[in-house]
A and B are shown apart, each in its own frame.
Chain A
Amino acid sequence: MSVNQQDLDPDSTTDMEDVTNAEEELIKECEEMWNDMEECQKKLSLVGTETLTDSNAQSSLLIMQAKCLTAELSQWQKESPEIIPLNEEILVTLGKEEFQKLRHDLELVLSTIQSKNEKLKEDLEREQQWFDEQQQILESLNVLHNELKHQVLIFSESRIFGELKTKMHDIKEYKEKLLVTLGEFLEDHFPLPDRNVKKKKKKKNIQESTVQLITLHEMLEILLNRLFDVPHDPYVKISDSFWPPYVELLLRNGIALRHPEDPTRIRLEAFHQ
C-alpha cells in the first residue's frame, strides 16, 4: 500500500529526455505491480466459495473478520514504505499537485471564515444597536421611576395633610356658625326680662334682685363648659344670676337635669353620649 501511482498521469507533455526516462521508469513499475496482481488473482480464483445462512452468519463472519484483520495487521507490520523514484520531474509534478490542492483547500477555508466573519460583524452590530436601545429605555424608565416615586410620597403626605386641614377648618367654621345661630335664636326667642315690665306689679311684691341676670345663652355656656371641663362632676350650682323661669324651662324640656340629692345643682344633659 504505497503511494497511489495509478493516479499519476503518465502522459506528461514535455519532451525532455529525463522526462521520458522517468515515464518509462514509472510505466515499468506499474507493469510490475499489475503482474503481481495477476498472480494474486490466479491464487484467489483457486479458493472455494462459501455462502452464509442467517444462523451461522454472525459467528462465522466474526471469526473471518478477526482472521483477516490479524492478517492485515501482520502485513502492515512487515511492509516497509516504498518511495517513488526520486526523479526531479516527478517530484516537481507531485509537489505542484499537492500545492494546488492545498491552495484550493485554503481558499475554501478563507472564504468560509470571511463569510463567517462578516456574519459575526453584522450580528455584533445588531446586538450593539439593540443594547444601546435597551440602555436608553432603561435610563428613561429609571428617570420616570424616580419621578413617580417622589411624587407618590409627597403627594400622599400633602394630600392627607390638606384633607385634614380642610376638614378641621370646615368643622371649626361649622361650629362657629352653629354657635352664632344659637346665640341669635336664643336672643330672639328667650330674651332677658326687661326691668321696665315691673310697671303693673307693685314694687313691694318684687324682690329686689340686685344681681345682674345672665342671658340664657350664657347659662347654657356655663353648663356646657362645666360638662366638658369636669366630666365626672358636671353640676353647676344655681346662682341668683340664673333667671328662674329659664331654669325651669331647661329642666322641664330635659335639657338640664337636677342633681339627684341636691336640688340646687343642675347639669346639662349629655346629648353626645
Chain B
Amino acid sequence: MSVLRPLDKQPGLNTATILLVGTEDALLQQLADSMLKEDCASELKVHLARSLPLPSNVNRPRIDLIMFVVNLHSKYSLRNVEESLRHVDATFFLGKVGFLATGAGRESQCSVHRSTVVRLARTYRSPLLFCDPEVDGFRVPVAQRLVRMLQICAGHVPGVSALNLLSLLRSSENPTLEDL
C-alpha cells in the first residue's frame, strides 16, 4: 500500500504538477487540455490516473495538487474516489487536495446527490468545485482556477501558501457549525 506523500521529492525547477484522479478518461483529458492551454509563468505538468495507489515503478515528479473528479451521474466514480482517498497521506489535505464534481447541470441524470459530494468535501476539509466540461464556457474558467490553485500549491506565488489558500476558500462556505 504505497501512500502518496506531498513533499517526498525535490521539486523540478519552475514546474508544477497536478494529478487528476477520476474514472472518466475523456473528461480528464478535456480538463487537462484546457489547463495546458492556459498561459502561465510556470511549466505545468498534468498527470491523469484512474485511481490510487499509483504504480510505483514510474518515475514521476513531485505532485503539488491532487484533484479528485467525481461524476455526479455515476455512483461508481464516487466509490472509486472514496477508495483512492485512503491512499493519500494526511498532510496532503492541508490545501493540496481538491474535489471537482461534474455533471451537476443535468439534474435528471444525477444518481449521486449534490449534498453527498458537499459532505465529502467537508469531511476532508477541502475545497469543492463544480464543472461541466462539455460546455466550453464552463471549462475555461475552471481550468484557470485550477492553474492558479496549482501555482499556489507549488509555491510559485510568493506570500501565499496552500494552507492560506485553503482558509481563504473556506470562508464563503458553511458558516454554521454542522456535525463535527
Q: Which residues of A contact B (CB under 8 A)?
A: 1-4, 6-7, 37-38, 41, 44-45, 49-54, 57-62, 64-65, 68-69, 72
- Residue of A whose beta carbon sits closest to that of B90: A50
In residues 17-74 of chain B, which contact A (Cβ within 8 Å)? 41
By secondary structure, the B interface counts as loop
Considering the complex of A and B, which 9 residue pairs feature the smallest CB-CB distances, nearest first? A50-B90, A61-B125, A49-B3, A49-B89, A57-B123, A4-B158, A44-B7, A52-B90, A61-B93
Q: Do the beta carbons of B89 and A68 come within 8 Å of each other?
A: no
Which of A38, A45, A54, A58 touches B125 (beta carbons < 8 Å)? A58
- Taking CB atoms, residues of chain B closer than 8 Å to A3 are 158
Q: Do the beta carbons of B89 and A58 come within 8 Å of each other?
A: no
Which of A54, A57, A59, A64 touches B91 (beta carbons < 8 Å)? A64
Q: Do the beta carbons of B90 and A61 come within 8 Å of each other?
A: yes
Q: Which residues of B contact A (CB under 8 A)?
A: 3, 5, 7-10, 13-14, 41, 82, 85-91, 93-94, 122-125, 156, 158-159, 161, 163-164, 166-167, 180
Which of A60, A64, A72 touches B161 (beta carbons < 8 Å)? A72
- Residue of B whose beta carbon sits closest to that of A58: B123
- Residue of A whose beta carbon sits closest to that of B93: A61
Q: Do the beta carbons of A65 and B13 come within 8 Å of each other?
A: no
- Taking CB atoms, residues of chain B closer than 8 Å to A61 are 90, 93, 124-125
- Taking CB atoms, residues of chain B closer than 8 Å to A41 are 7, 9-10
- Taking CB atoms, residues of chain B closer than 8 Å to A38 are 10
Give 13 A-B pairs besides A44-B8, A50-B91 with Cβ atoms closer than 8 angstroms: A1-B158, A6-B14, A41-B9, A51-B86, A51-B87, A51-B90, A52-B88, A54-B123, A57-B125, A58-B124, A59-B180, A60-B90, A68-B163
